[in-house]
Structure 1
């Protein structure tokens, strides 16, 4: 019965997250424009990582004030519900409106003959494979690399978040349209190396390399991808309800995350011992490289076609 309840809670959580992120991504799309998106994404990244530093400290404080750990977790859960309620109210106060016409998710899921939309969907499909590592393995690998020390693990995560805050601030100053693909490529290379080193060197040194490199490279990898996709989606805003495009994009992202996790499970079933870790991590870690190779090819062809029209 308890197992079934866990699945039911997970189902509700997944549905709630889907609606939440659809709303957030749609609002982000509507309230920004090509001139403001780099700053918006950088500030969002900075604030998110400030929360990553503050949240564990606040959670520990709340648990210590509560009578028991269970009471502490319940109090935290209530606070989270209150925060999400506040976010919902703030969202309702945003006056920006999209194009309120009917949309077809199935139509948006297909590549059609639209090369730009195909590029967006495949980009997020490739992006999700490495995400499957982050969601399933890297936290455990870092925890093991610290010899299971929860306090040290928490301090490491706080340090990595501080580095990410600095990296987002730097990225907002130097990433521009003319150098976006260059930093996108550099970010992808370092992002790929981070998880590879972590599994090849499963100790504190590997954990430090992963955390530091991942923290610094993440803004240079994610900001260009987000700007490119948001600018592309914006091209459809005058004639379509953008919700269909955003749902399709998130569907491809979720699909590749699920496929990545399935690949890890299959590797665990096929390969003996820890060999499955090396195989799955090495292969999935290459997805950012594949993504930026595809991006460079697409943008060179597109820019070449534009030059021919002039």
Structure 2
């Protein structure tokens, strides 16, 4: 009897070990599966910086539509240019879709070139930046004309976001031409409101602006000649990503590099976004109407 009890106890011990091992294996497989699922879910989430500029709002919403159609979850973080670069450096942001080179954002390239990936690929190759005035100011055609007419402009250049590369270049332009002017920072929307008011009343105004931008044609503005070329010539628009982005998202990285737009395409996209109650709705409409172009990027 004692011998039988010992054998039974031994068998039960073995069974207990088998059961515990099996449970551990099942638990391990479940944890592994869960971790894999979480990793896959994480890999499908992208965070893109959005700056409150017309073309930036347009292209970030456009890519949100395209990427979410492809199964990604896209978050847009609203930041200024300086904060965007800091977030890319820290890895809190995956991508920024607008870096102007070789002049406007050269300061950010110099500061972050070792910690942020600035793509060699460009998505717009015919950008221009400079000071603009309404065309009805027929005698104001060059930056050199500003000091002679400083009373007309109250010695003020109406600017936009502090920290934007173009604002820094405008400050440099004031030094280069020894302009007796003050650059007034605000926001793009506030600057455009001032331009709208001035044009409506046919008053003088001077401001830094860029092309592509819907305001150039809507308000009939002209770029002032820049003999010293402080603003540079033709600018190209690149994108930037955090370190490791290409390894984590090789497919999306390839799509961003394939991305190209011309004046008509970006102008139409901006118009769709600006005329919609929600930017995403305007971007979605434009994407729906341009399937062949989108296919060229995401092939």
**Rg (Cα) greater in structure:** 2
Decide which structure has greater helix share. Answer: 1
Q: TM-score w.r.t. structure 1 length?
A: 0.25
Decide which structure has greater strand share. Answer: 2
Q: TM-score w.r.t. structure 2 length?
A: 0.26
